[in-house]
Structure 1
Amino acid sequence: MTDDRTIPEHDVVPLLEPREGIPHVIQAPEDLAATIRAFASADGPVAVDAERASGYRYSGRAYLVQLRRTGAGTALIDPVACPDLTALDAALAEAEIVLHAASQDLPCLVELGFKPRKLFDTELAGRLLGYERVGLGTMVETILGLRLEKGHSAADWSTRPLPEDWLRYAALDVEVLIELRDVLSTQLEESGKREWAEQEFHSVLNAPAPPPRADPWRRTSGIHKVRSLRGLAVVRELWQLRDRIARDNDLAPGRVLADSAIVTAALESPRTTRTLTEISGFTGRSARRHLRDWLAAINKARMLREVQLPQPTTPGDGPPPANRWADRDPVAAKRLAAARAVVAALADEHRMPTENLLQPDAVRRLTWEPPEEISDESIAARLRDLGARDWQVDLTAHPLAKALTRLENKGEI
């Protein structure tokens, strides 16, 4: 990363207090209405952030929403007390909303009825500009010369009342977000990447919700240790039971039962509650409440007929893992290597991560099943089908077509 865009360490100043002090948390309808009027009458972009309780609660809902706009100051809204933000959404319909890592916060904001129409994502802008570290605290420090304290990012924001130091942290998260946006916007203009950023922001705003995962229990950490189909059945039954308990009690699944306990139970297949409690993870308060249920789930897996057992893997709709290509399809492996080299060189030229120039999944799918006739036009059409934006297609279609054609001409594919 270039040093000329960053503030030297010795010039960094701690940002300790919000300029107007810590705002009171808005919980009453009349206070929310007054805040909406204030923000609607102010001008310029609106900085927005949301705090969730990941790691504590099952849902991804917001437990605090922070806003800041020049002329209106900072507002902290309790979405538990004020769960309907459609009036705020309507009042700010024409405003540019500034978020950091917008894809993380947009789902919980949309749940509240707040859906931006125009977005500036400071993290995504930083990636396009080639900043190596794009966390909010790091960017504020290196670009603005201000140090944010980040000690409460993993806190349980469902706590009520929220401690004052948490509220201070929350207010500071939007304190200089607009200033950061302004600097990044200028840099995007100067580097010729503003239009690229606009296309990326539009894509984030209009991205469809991801489809439900098939067999989500297969993502249990450590499941690779389970070699038998019967053991996989134990993982599945325990995972599904844990998920039901977690959902019913709005608890993060890991707070009900750790993945490591599920995997150990699958390996040891305990037959009594005593042997079950000998496994670390089943002795915690949440887990002990359901000892009989856990044991019943294990016994259910033990009694399944062979045809009811899960298979080791489930086929996906895309290409296999890239490390298997050389064995399964050596020609495709050569295409992938050539395409990756092209994307890496272009990303380096334009000073951005390769995954922001072109999604790795798009590169894999393109090279696993390329068009029958390789040309700039056919590669461009395939990339668009795979979700690439126009600016990405403009930069990559011709070099990719050229590289794949070269392989064909050499007789390597």
Structure 2
Amino acid sequence: MAETARHVIDTRAEYLDAVAMIAAGTGPIAIDAERASGFRYSQRAYLIQVFRRDAGVFLFDPPAIGRFDELQDAIADVEWILHAASQDIACLREVGLDPHVIFDTELCARLLGFARVGLGAVIEQQLGIHLAKEHSAADWSTRPLPDSWLEYAALDVELLVDLRDSLQELLVSSGKEEIARQEFAAVLQKEAKPVAAEPWRRLSGIHSVRSARNLAVARELWLARDAYAQEIDTAPGRLVPDASLLAVVKAMPTTRKALSELREFTGRASRSELSRWWEAVERGLASAELPAVRVNGDTLPPPRVWSERNPEADLRLKAARAALNELSDELQIPLENLLTPEYLRRVAWHPPATMDAESIGEALTELGARPWQIDATAQKISAAFVEAHQTLLESSEAPS
């Protein structure tokens, strides 16, 4: 007998009926969201999947439903299970869904030292079920959604509760329950990144542009593309790729014809919106407000130049990395989860006056490290920093 096609809930009446059934279910909530990244400008959810034992799977159409306040009220205090929660939290919050407690199966797999942490790989390892992932990069703003996509989306949540229970057993047996609890809480507490003052500087390859006038053209092209992409809700790169904008910036055409004849200027909107791009080039060429070629910020130089720019910081970083790599292997926790690499770089570049474990711990706390990370790494980092300092002293005292 053929399988029954999955049904998408896209009316308020059906939605409220589903909320009642979910509220009557038992245990934690498995939840997932599908966006249209790479296709649409917005990062909104175009499908939200929910599963709860004794209730079943529900597929919701967020653009049709709008706010999910009733569902939030029904499940706010229940544990929510997500895979790679940091990817979905923002679009869930956008429609009124905001968990109080989560269990992140992807993050959990990392903390347990799994070699592969994608949902399909973790489910296959823990539950012995092969989960096809062929629609993960699909355009979920498509309507109607194909049945095969809906089946894929349903399976993403239908197995999450069993997966959570399996991973929880491993957390207990490995003594990592508290580590996971702190990491899950950190995902919820992490603040959204502030909007960059000059977002156009994210243009791929912009670091190679050394002229203020060329940068002004880059700025105007990026802003024009972004405004148009937002207007028609299309991913900017689908209109004109970054590489094409950069080609214009480097060629600096002085006429509309020269722009149209630039072979490297490609993309589906490169010619249909040629007037838009040429006007942006003209604004850049005429602008009296030239951007700075170098931006002063709190960004650290790349570690590859530390040996020349700050030799002692370079020694500190290398010594601490070596110590934390050993600890990572010992705990079977990836280095980037053991301690955020940026935190280690910052404390190596600007160490506290006294490099004891307590001072290192305080510096890491200010940066945002979790208590378990500080307990595990502060003493190791302190010892590595002291060793690096001693090495530098001995090398400076050695006869030439």
* Same-fold call, TM cutoff 0.5: yes
Return the letter of the residue paired with 2:327.
Answer: L
Deviation at 1:146, TM superposition (A): 1.2
Q: Which string of whole-angstrom CA distances, capped at 9 and with x for unpartnered residues, describes residues 102-142 of structure 1?
A: 00000000001000111000010000000121111111122
Please say if 1:237 is aligned against 2:220: yes
Deviation at 1:285, TM superposition (A): 4.5
Choose from 72, 88, 104 the match for 1:121: 104
Deviation at 1:310, TM superposition (A): 2.3
Q: Which moved more, 1:290-299 or 1:345-354?
A: 290-299
Unaligned runs of 5+ in 2: none
Partner of 1:330: 311
Partner of 1:271: 254
Please say if 1:217 is aligned against 2:200: yes
Partner of 2:59: 76
Unaligned runs of 5+ in 1: 1-16
Partner of 1:57: 40
Deviation at 1:277, TM superposition (A): 2.3
Query: Are 1:258 and 1:281, in contact at CA under 8 Å, matched by a contact in 2?
Result: no
Partner of 2:185: 202
Q: Distance in 2 between matches of 1:255 and 1:406?
A: 51
Choose from 314, 319, 322 the match for 1:341: 322
Please say if 1:155 is aligned against 2:155: no
For residues 241-320 of structure 1, the aligned pairs below 5 Å read: 241-280=224-263, 282=265, 284-305=267-288, 308-320=289-301
Query: Are 2:200 and 2:222, in contact at CA under 8 Å, matched by a contact in 1?
Result: yes
Partner of 1:389: 370
Query: Are 1:357 and 1:392, in contact at CA under 8 Å, matched by a contact in 2?
Result: yes
% identical equivalent positions: 48
Q: Which string of whole-angstrom CA distances, capped at 9 and with x for unpartnered residues, describes residues 204-242 of structure 1?
A: 011111111232222212334434332222211101110
Q: Which string of whole-angstrom CA distances, capped at 9 and with x for unpartnered residues, describes residues 352-395 of structure 1?
A: 21010000010011111111012121111111111110100111
Choose from 111, 120, 126 the match for 1:137: 120
Please say if 1:42 is aligned against 2:42: no
CA gap of 1:190–1:117, structure 2 versus 1, over 3 A, is same
Deviation at 1:149, TM superposition (A): 1.4
Deviation at 1:320, TM superposition (A): 1.9
Deviation at 1:281, TM superposition (A): 6.6
Q: Distance in 1 between matches of 2:252 and 2:384?
A: 53
Q: What is the SS of the residue equivalent to 1:336?
A: helix
Partner of 2:332: 351
Q: What is the SS of the residue equivalent to 1:234?
A: helix
Deviation at 1:80, TM superposition (A): 0.7
Return the letter of the residue paired with 2:124.
Answer: E
Return the letter of the residue paired with 1:267.
Answer: K
Query: Are 1:100 and 1:121, in contact at CA under 8 Å, matched by a contact in 2?
Result: yes
Return the letter of the residue paired with 2:125.
Answer: T
Q: Distance in 2 between matches of 1:281 and 1:407?
A: 49
Q: Distance in 1 between matches of 2:269 and 2:80?
A: 40
Q: What is the SS of the residue equivalent to 2:67?
A: coil
Q: Which moved more, 1:111-120 or 1:373-382?
A: 373-382
Query: Are 1:45 and 1:95, in contact at CA under 8 Å, matched by a contact in 2?
Result: yes
Please say if 1:167 is aligned against 2:135: no
Q: What is the SS of the residue equivalent to 1:58?
A: coil
Return the letter of the residue paired with 2:180.
Answer: A
Choose from 44, 68, 73 the match for 1:90: 73
Q: What is the SS of the residue equivalent to 2:99?
A: coil
Query: Are 2:85 and 2:187, in contact at CA under 8 Å, matched by a contact in 1?
Result: yes
Query: Are 1:23 and 1:74, in contact at CA under 8 Å, matched by a contact in 2?
Result: no
Deviation at 1:284, TM superposition (A): 4.7
Q: Distance in 2 between matches of 1:55 and 1:215?
A: 22
CA gap of 1:85–1:315, structure 2 versus 1, over 3 A, is same
Q: Distance in 2 between matches of 1:260 and 1:375?
A: 48
Q: Distance in 1 between matches of 2:167 and 2:332?
A: 15
CA gap of 1:99–1:281, structure 2 versus 1, over 3 A, is farther
Deviation at 1:282, TM superposition (A): 4.8
Query: Are 1:79 and 1:112, in contact at CA under 8 Å, matched by a contact in 2?
Result: yes
Query: Are 1:271 and 1:295, in contact at CA under 8 Å, matched by a contact in 2?
Result: no
Q: What is the SS of the residue equivalent to 1:309?
A: coil
Deviation at 1:283, TM superposition (A): 5.7
